[in-house]
Amino acid sequence: MLGPPGAGKGTQALKLAEKLGVPQISTGDLFRSNITRGTELGLEAKHYLDAGDLVPSDLTNALVEKRLDEADAADGFILDGYPRSVEQAEALTRMLGARNTKLDAVLEFRVCEEELLNRLKDRGRADDTEEVIRNRMKVYRDETAPLLEYYGDAVRTVDAVGSPDEVFARALHSLGR
């Protein structure tokens, strides 16, 4: 699932995971839970999340690779917030190839920037201050948006302005479900 911060990827990933009976793997949630539990990974990741910068890819890729090998991901999974750069996408392609599998689809959730800023200000997560939001938007444009080209024809674009249920219906439609 691709989309800028505030596009609603997390909400849609959960709904889709429930519908398809596969786990939702959110790198943002994994980092936040490591921070809360005070693990070594959490300590390393915290200042990147606080600044709205990407956590270095070696840490992130290792985290995802380990998660993919948990039993519940054997029959499929939804990746929310990963990959977030071409470097990560290349690593993911290798991980999936090594496991004889591939992505079925790439969903892009599209929302105009004005709507995004409104949503994020209402959400009030620790990294939702104006300056950090601005940086996360920039990181999305510079690092993540190039993935749309990397994935090319696999990308299905979903209009993410509307109620969660409306957006979910569009996402299912784009997947032919």
Q: Which single residue brings its beta carbon nearest to ligand ADP?
A: 28
Query: Is 43 or 177 the residue whose CB approaches ligand ADP more closely?
Result: 43
Cβ neighbour number for residue 46 with a 10 Å cutoff: 17
Q: How far is the CB of 79 from ligand ADP (least distance, A)?
A: 9
Query: Is 5 or 23 the residue whose CB approaches ligand ADP more closely?
Result: 5
Tokens 């299905």 sit on residue: 156
Q: How far is the CB of 105 from ligand ADP (least distance, A)?
A: 18
Q: Which residues bind ligand ADP (CB under 6 A)?
A: 5-6, 27-28, 31, 48-49, 52-55, 60, 81-82, 84, 88, 136
Query: Is 134 or 177 the residue whose CB approaches ligand ADP more closely?
Result: 134
Torsion of CA 113, 114, 119, 125, to 10 degrees: 60
Q: How far is the CB of 19 from ligand ADP (least distance, A)?
A: 20
What amino acid occupies position 49?
Answer: L
Query: Is 23 or 52 the residue whose CB approaches ligand ADP more closely?
Result: 52
Which SS3 state, helix, strand or coil, does residue 93 take? helix
Q: How far is the CB of 46 from ligand ADP (least distance, A)?
A: 9
106-110 and 155-159 as β-strands: parallel, antiparallel, unpaired? parallel
What amino acid occupies position 23?
Answer: P
- Token pair, residue 95, equals 């991980």
In the chain, the N- to C-terminal Cα span, in Å, equals: 16
